[in-house]
Structure 1
Amino acid sequence: MQNADIPDAQLASAQPDAPELALPKLARQRLHDTVVDHLREFIVEGQLAPGVKLNERKLCEVLGISRTPLREALKVLAAEGLIEISPNRGATVAQLSEAEIRDMFELMSGLEAFAGELACERISETELAQIKALHAAMLLCRAQNDLSGYYSRNHAIHDLINIAARNAALRQTYVTLNRRLQALRFRSNFQTAKWDSAIRDHEGMIAALEARNGPALSKILRGHLLAKRDAVLAERTLSVAGMSREK
């Protein structure tokens, strides 16, 4: 966590500061969880980009809070691996290396594939109906070009499949890893073709769940996650190449 003794002058380093953000002032109820949720959303949706130094004063103004609840929230996000805190540099949004991205997506593909097999055995009709409703809402967001709404429903579908697996150990591992990958999963849908490909995968997921076909759902989920890995790595390569040309 950022050292309380570090003066504000040191916080304004040469690194890029967090951009100006617009958000209504927070109610005091459930303040801690609300602050964590908002900061996590800023990171996932790219408002706080990888490598950006967090300016505590600006974030406190945006969220309408003091530094104490902000720093408590930063502790949580640091534990999740979403930010990195240095005693001398303060807090910055974490950046994953190419190897870390590859390893994490490969592991997540295995976790989701296994969850899919179990879910086909254990999912309830109510859960299946919820997934279908989320899929319909996701299609509406796609039609409206609403990436944020699309992603939130996409995320909820994968989460419900994992919950339907009824395996506590799998659930804990999935939640921990997925928090580190959310921002990358969000950005993997920036291209229209990627959106449409993901929608086709989701239609196949629902068909496999309805048929209680574990192997089929497992295969779709594994391929779905590996496609996201490839999209993220391709985007990263283009970004690095672009920065090299600018130099």
Structure 2
Amino acid sequence: MASAADLPSGTPHRIERQSLHEAILTRLRDMIIEGDLTPGTRINEGAIGAQFGVSRTPLREAIKYLASEGLVELVPSRGAVVKKFTAKEVRDMLDVVRTLEEHAAVSACAVATDEAVAGIRALHDEMVAAYEHGERRTYYKLNQEIHTRLVELADNAALSDVHAMLQTRLKRIRYVGHEGEEKWAKAVGEHVEMIEALEARDADRLVDVVHRHLTKAWERVKDSLET
């Protein structure tokens, strides 16, 4: 197998192509999450490619990946369209996510290592700092990582897989749930309760907080959705 030193000068390394793919994917995903590309909007490959300074080939690869995540639909005669979920679809997904996280909470309190819990505490502290500085994008990404890590503490691959799929589809919706100072402050307060319950290994309290947090998540977004 040839090493990097054996490659001809100017040969692109695989990592560079992957980095381009990830960069395009991240920017497109952020545009959807933050509402620059609203639900139902057709993704104009020419305009987006020019904005990003990339050709259509890597852009299409990123769009196909977003379609596999459920954030984009590939519609005949229209092309790629940002997925638009109904209120019922969102409610159903949040109900399942809540059930999954409640189950994970019980297992996490029983089996998680102190090191793993400390890792979530560190993310939580970063998230609160982002909130205090008004850095909404950073806050949101740390928030989602905390939910992912909480589920991972349960050490159940099937649980993590289903949760990851639904969490990805709900990215835009969860972002909307932090719009407005009052909604944002309440969400942060719920997370404070979550980390305290996790550190105390208080499963009953953690399940209660997770239940309230994800029930409130629906209440915070329902008015922005179509029936």
TM-score tier, shorter chain, comes to 0.7 to 0.9
Of 146, 160, 164, 1:157 maps to 146
* Paired residues of 1:135 and 1:153 also in contact (CA < 8 A): yes
* Paired residues of 1:109 and 1:223 also in contact (CA < 8 A): no
- Does residue 195 of structure 2 align to residue 186 of structure 1? no
* Paired residues of 1:43 and 1:93 also in contact (CA < 8 A): yes
Q: Equivalences for 1:78-97 in 2 at 5 Å?
A: 78-97=67-86
TM norm structure 1? 0.81
State the match for 1:144 in structure 2.
133
SS in 1 for 2:66: helix
Of 186, 207, 210, 2:199 maps to 210
SS in 2 for 1:30: helix
Distance 1:86 1:152 in 2: 29
Structure 2 stretches lacking a partner, 5+ long: 1-15
Deviations 1:85-134 (A, max 9, x none): 11201111111011101111111111111111111112222222222222
Structure 1 stretches lacking a partner, 5+ long: 1-26, 241-247
SS in 1 for 2:74: strand
Tell me the CA shift for residue 148 of structure 1.
Answer: 1.0
Distance 2:107 2:216 in 1: 22
* Paired residues of 2:39 and 2:84 also in contact (CA < 8 A): yes
Distance 2:35 2:102 in 1: 27
TM norm structure 2? 0.88
Identity within the alignment, %: 37
- Does residue 54 of structure 2 align to residue 68 of structure 1? no
Deviations 1:171-190 (A, max 9, x none): 00000111000111011011
- The amino acid across from 1:66 in the alignment is S
Tell me the CA shift for residue 60 of structure 1.
Answer: 1.2
Of 174, 177, 180, 2:166 maps to 177
SS in 1 for 2:50: helix
- The amino acid across from 1:144 in the alignment is H
**Structure 1 residues 29 and 102, CA, compared in 2 at 3 Å: closer, same or farther?**
closer
Q: How many residues align?
A: 212
* Aligned Cα root-mean-square deviation (Å): 1.6
